[in-house]
Amino acid sequence: DAGVIQSPRHEVTEMGQEVTLRCKPISGHNSLFWYRQTMMRGLELLIYFNNNVPIDDSGMPEDRFSAKMPNASFSTLKIQPSEPRDSAVYFCASSLSPSGNQPQHFGDGTRLSIL
C-alpha cells in the first residue's frame, strides 16, 4: 500500500525564491498535517486540515508560509519569499479520522536548504 508521498525529497534554492512542497496523503485519510523538523526545535506542527478544510494554522511561522488542500488527495505548502532560517525537513502526515484517536502516518519528508 502506498504511504504518504512527498515531493521533492530535496530542494536547494536561493533566498527570496518561492518554494512549493507537495504531499499526497494516504487514500481514504481525511486529516492532513504539515510539520517542520529542525535540530533546534524538534518536530513542530505547522497546520492541519480535516476534510480539506484548514482547522488550525497557529503553527505557521509567518505570512510567508501558506498551505492549501484543493482536494482530498493533494496538498501544498508554499514559502514565498524563502529565507535561510526556513531550512529544515518538512513532513506531511495523514490520518484516518479527525477524532484524534488514530495514528498519523508520515511521509519521508522534503529536506529544504535555503542558501
Q: Which residues bind other proteins (CB under 8 A)?
A: 4, 31, 33, 38-43, 45, 48, 50, 55-56, 91, 93, 95, 97-101, 103-109
Q: CB of 82: closest distance to other proteins in angstroms?
A: 20
Q: How far is the CB of 1 from other proteins (least distance, A)?
A: 13
Cβ–Cβ under 8 Å, residues 52 and 72: yes
* Of 15 and 55, CB closest to other proteins: 55
Q: How far is the CB of 31 from other proteins (least distance, A)?
A: 5
CB closer to other proteins out of 93 and 112: 93
State the greatest distance between any 2 C-alpha atoms of the chain, in Å, as a whole number.
40
Q: 76, 20 in Cβ contact below 8 A?
A: yes
* Residues 55, 68 contacting (CB under 8 angstroms): no
Q: What is the CA radius of gyration of the chain?
A: 13
Cβ nearer to other proteins, comparing 24 with 80: 24
Cell of 33: 498535517
